[in-house]
A and B are shown apart, each in its own frame.
Chain A
Amino acid sequence: MKPMTSRQRVLAALHNDEVDRTPVCNPTSVATVELMDLVDASFPEANRDGEKMARLAATSYTELGFDSIMPVFSIIQESSALGCDMQWEQKDNWPTVRMASPIWSTPEDIHIPSDWLLHPDVQCVLDAIRILRREFKDEVAIIGKTMGPWTLGYHFFGVEKFLLMSYDDPGQTKKCLDLMKKVTIDFGRAQIDAGADALTLPDHATGDLVSGDYYRRYLRDLHCEFVNDIPIPLILHICGRTLDRMDYIAETGMSAFHYDSKNEPFESMDIVKDRIALVGNINNPETLYSKTPEFVREEVYSNLDAHIPLIGPECAIPLQTPIENLKEIPKAVADWHKDKDRLSTKAPLTDQQT
């Protein structure tokens, strides 16, 4: 097969087409404090300045050897633009929404200004995507990120209040989700205009708090709508053990599901089959952060052996992750394919050899 560019490889895998080798893809962040130093673009500025954001994100391709670049490191850009109380933190920590101080309580409170996309914390993302597209052209896949309404619900209403509302008043909850989906669509489309090839859509109906049935009732149809309304490949991200909802997720028409290490690769592939591509699963807190490259390689191989179509970390990597562990992912993918090619081209043993 003719060698592909990184961009072609990622997009082919997202479209369930043939690839020259399995792409290495980071639907969420691979920023580390050392990479911040290398390109002089540190948090929190790299979350708020498009040029720094692009510079740091590019290291995923230029330094680590991934096939994709994802400049939206955090999950708070939209929430900041819409008025949430923010904690921007420092270089060594993630910005967060102070969810103990929610800004909305009822569907009537939901107000999305017509010019919200002009907010600097949204514009910096669009700037970063434009810069990356201009600099890298068609060389590498540029992935954006737009948050789903369930996660936005946590940010705007507070986790506890939003979950309680979903138990007590499903009608009201659905109304909130329906109003908030505009944020997801607006931001997604703006990133397409800026040059994104695909979008990660995190919607944290996580395995520890929300059941598979909940996903079906509240989110499956909404996610189907996003596939129609946002016309580029979408990569759904949900943390935790999600086997109980993978069948529903596979029905949404999304291109890929970014899955957690709490799910076994073979088991997960058995459920989704070729209805949706899987990506992720390389464990962050234990393997990438705390162990050595041999352990990373082991997890990469177990994903490749299960025919997972795109290989990458399970979620945004810890900011202190050693660079050598991240570089091991593409190395292991290349070696696995080399071994596989060698085995498949090996001449059959003669009678004497056996």
Chain B
Amino acid sequence: MIKRRPFTTASLWLSILVHPNHTPSGELLTRRHLDGDHTWYDNVYIVSPVHWLTEKRGKTLDLGLRIEIQPMDTHCHNISLGLYQKEINRIPHFLVHTYSSHPMATERIQFICRALREQVGLVDAPDLPGWLLFPCGSTHRRALRRSFLDLCKLETNAALQMPVLSAHDKKAECPLSLTPQGDGLYAIHAATVTDKSIRRVSALARGYAKLCDMDVGPSESNVTVSFPCKTDHHALLGLLMYRAQNIRATMQEQEVSKGRGVLSAPTNQD
């Protein structure tokens, strides 16, 4: 069975290059991909090196704001993967995009999008192929950025397990769990109540507040966190539970990666 590969953002600029008015030099290749019972084809226009300079103009796209980037995806030939956000009818839409024309790029983006659906709870935007959105229509930008970077650490086609709302906590010496209360409200509790576990429950709540912009409940006996959108996001919370438990290390990791690629004066270099 032969099918055309459905349109994807990764191949958008490639298809632009295949424009009939744009073939003074170079080579038009048809790439073949095998995917189960299906065979997919892509057209790729390979421009000869010298003509990259003058012929390839204005190929960057208006994709809205780039809210996160994985600069070097070690699971896909070190390509960069960007997460973009655009408001359409005041609803934030998200797109995973790469400017790389590497043959594996499309498959990689499809995997990351699948992971964002299954592990974060994003859904396909109804009128905009390739774009995703939260069912609640909120941005949850901070949580999404962290989730995106974590999902980029998975190998393409790694098994995606549904995140769970419970995890063992080393410092509490017992499991910590979130219990959905409805309307985006979650109660946090420890399996065993000790001084240590009480402190860890509060620490987990603060971790979620920092990672997901959640509100922490006022009651000391029953610590809660809630999303301002008043919608449940089980998958997102499950995915980020480990990060919320280790919030200090997460913040440090973010600081370090933020400084990478920023050129400092020689006086500030080692």
Which residues of chain A have a CB within 8 Å of any CB of chain B? 29, 33-40, 42, 51, 54-55, 58, 62-64, 75, 90-94, 96-100, 131-132, 135-136, 151, 154-155, 159, 204, 206, 208-209, 239-240, 284-285, 289, 292, 315-316, 318-320, 322-324, 327
Q: Check B161 for interface membership: any CB of A closer than 8 A.
A: no
Q: Check B221 for interface membership: any CB of A closer than 8 A.
A: no
A65 nearest in chain B by CB position? B58
Q: Could you tell me if B263 and A39 are in contact, using CB atoms closer than 8 angstroms?
A: no
Q: Could you tell me if A284 and B262 are in contact, using CB atoms closer than 8 angstroms?
A: yes
Looking at the complex, which one of A36, A38, A97 makes contact with B59 (CB distance below 8 Å)?
A38
Looking at the complex, which one of B65, B78, B100, B101 makes contact with A324 (CB distance below 8 Å)?
B65
Please, which residues of chain A bring their CB within 8 A of the CB of B64? 324
Interface hub of A93, A98, A154 (most chain B Cβ within 10 A): A93
Please choose the segment from B47-55, B171-179, B186-194 that sits at the chain A interface, where 4 or more of its residues have CB less than 8 A away.
B47-55
B residues 225-268 near A (Cβ < 8 Å) are: 260-263, 265-267
Sorted nearest first, the 5 A-B pairs with minimum C-beta distance are A319-B261, A37-B100, A92-B71, A38-B99, A322-B66
Q: Could you tell me if B265 and A206 are in contact, using CB atoms closer than 8 angstroms?
A: yes
Q: How far is the CB of A123 from chain B (nearest CB, A)?
A: 18
Q: Given A55-B53, A94-B261, A204-B267, list of 19 further CB < 8 A pairs?
A: A34-B80, A35-B60, A36-B80, A37-B98, A39-B52, A62-B57, A63-B59, A92-B260, A99-B270, A100-B270, A136-B54, A204-B266, A206-B265, A240-B265, A292-B65, A318-B263, A319-B261, A323-B66, A324-B62
Q: Could you tell me if A91 and B71 are in contact, using CB atoms closer than 8 angstroms?
A: yes
Taken together as a complex, chains A and B put the C-alpha atoms of A284 and B50 apart, in Å, by 31
Q: Could you tell me if B262 and A92 are in contact, using CB atoms closer than 8 angstroms?
A: no
Please, which residues of chain B bring their CB within 8 A of the CB of A100? 270
Q: How far is the CB of A188 from chain B (nearest CB, A)?
A: 19
Q: Could you tell me if B260 and A62 are in contact, using CB atoms closer than 8 angstroms?
A: no
Interface hub of A75, A131, A316, A324 (most chain B Cβ within 10 A): A324
Please, which residues of chain A bring their CB within 8 A of the CB of B66? 322-324
Q: Check B82 for interface membership: any CB of A closer than 8 A.
A: yes
Which residues of chain B have a CB within 8 Å of any CB of chain A? 13, 49-50, 52-54, 56-60, 62-66, 69, 71-72, 78-80, 82, 98-101, 260-263, 265-267, 269-270
Please, which residues of chain A bring their CB within 8 A of the CB of B267? 154, 159, 204, 206, 208-209
Q: How far is the CB of A46 from chain B (nearest CB, A)?
A: 12
Please, which residues of chain B bring their CB within 8 A of the CB of A51? 49
Please, which residues of chain B bring their CB within 8 A of the CB of A63? 57-60
Q: Could you tell me if B266 and A34 are in contact, using CB atoms closer than 8 angstroms?
A: no
Taken together as a complex, chains A and B put the C-alpha atoms of A161 and B237 apart, in Å, by 52
Please, which residues of chain B bring their CB within 8 A of the CB of A42? 78
Looking at the complex, which one of B56, B59, B82, B266 makes contact with A159 (CB distance below 8 Å)?
B266
A43 nearest in chain B by CB position? B261
Q: Could you tell me if B99 and A34 are in contact, using CB atoms closer than 8 angstroms?
A: yes
Given the known A-B contacts A34-B82, A42-B78, A206-B267, are A92 and B100 also in contact in the complex, defined by CB atoms under 8 Å? no
Please, which residues of chain A bring their CB within 8 A of the CB of B99? 34-35, 37-38
Looking at the complex, which one of B56, B71, B72, B270 makes contact with A62 (CB distance below 8 Å)?
B56
